[in-house]
Amino acid sequence: MAKSPKVKAPRFAEQARVILPGSEKAAAENAVHVKATPAAAQVTVSLIIRRKEQLKFDMRGGRNFGPVRLSRAEYKKHHSADPDALKLAKAFGKEFNLKVEDDPTSAIRRTVQLTGSAADIQKAFGVELNQKTIDGVEYRVREGGIHLPESLSGSVLAVLGLDNRPQAKPHIRFRRAKPETGLEPAAAAPASYTPPQVAQAYQWPSTATGAGETIGIIELGGGYRTADLDAYFKTLGLAAPSITAVSVDKGKNAPSNASGADGEVMLDIEVAASVAPGAKVVVYFTPNTDQGFTDAITTAVHDATNNPSVISISWGGPEANWTAQAMTALDAACQSAAALGVSITVAAGDNGSSDGLTGNNVDFPASSPHVLACGGTKLDANGSTLISEVVWNELANNDGATGGGVSNQFPQPTWQATANVPKPSGSTGGRGVPDVSGDADPNTGYTIRVDGETTVIGGTSAVAPLWAGLIAVANQQLGTKVGFIQPAIYAAKAASAFNDITEGNNPAFSAGPGWDACTGLGSPKASALIPLLAPSGITPGPAPTPTPAPVKKKKKKKAAKAAPVEKKASKKASGKKSGKKASSKKAGKKADKKASGKKADKKSFGKKSGKKVSGKKADKKKSGKKESKKSSGKKKKKK
Q: Which residues are identified as catalytic?
A: 264, 268, 461
Put residue 388 in one of left, alpha, beta given phi > 0 → left and psi -120 to 50 → alpha.
beta
φ, ψ at 141 (rounded to 5°)? -125, 140
CA dist., res. 344 & res. 373, Å (int): 9
The C-alpha R_g of the chain, in whole angstroms, comes to 25
**DSSP code per residue over 509-529:** SB--SS-BTTTBT-EE-HHHH
In whole angstroms, what is the distance from residue 540 CA to residue 300 CA? 27
> How far are the Cα atoms of 111, 264, 421 from residue 306, in angstroms, in the given order?
20, 22, 37
362/520 Cα distance (integer angstroms): 13
At position 501, the amino acid (one-letter code) is: I
Contact 531, 482 (CB under 8 A): no
Q: Hey, is 418 helix, strand or coil?
A: coil
Q: Hey, CA dihedral for 545, 484, 337, 246, is it positive or negative?
A: negative
Q: Give the number of other Cβ atoms within 10 Å of residue 624's Cβ.
A: 10
Beta bridge mates, 46: 113, 160
73 φ, ψ to 5°? -65, -45
DSSP state of 155: T
The secondary structure of 26-78 as a DSSP string is: PPPTTEEEEEEPPTT-EEEEEEEEPBSSPPPTTSSS--TTS-SS--HHHHHHH
404 Cβ partners below 8 Å, 6+ apart? 348, 349, 352, 353, 362, 375, 433, 434, 506, 509, 516, 517, 518, 519, 520
Cis? peptide before 190, omega within 30° of 0: no
- Concatenating the DSSP letter of every residue in 576-620 gives TTTTSSS-GGGGTHHHHHHIIIIIHHHTT-SS-GGGTTSHHHHHH
- 8 A C-beta contact, residue 592 and residue 217: no
The residues near 11 (Cβ < 8 Å, ≥ 6 apart) are: 95
Amino acid identity, position 168: A
Amino acid (1-letter code) at residue 544: P
Closest C-alpha to 162, from 365, 326, 13, 364: 326
How large is the angle between the packed helices 262-275 and 460-478, nearest 10 degrees?
A: 30
d(CA 289, CA 110): 18
Instruction: Report the candidate in 567, 267, 224 with the shortest Cα–Cα distance to residue 442.
Output: 267
∠ CA 449-454-455, rounded to 5°: 100
Q: What are the start-end ranges of the E strands in 104-204?
A: 111-117, 130-134, 137-141, 147-149, 156-160, 169-170, 173-174
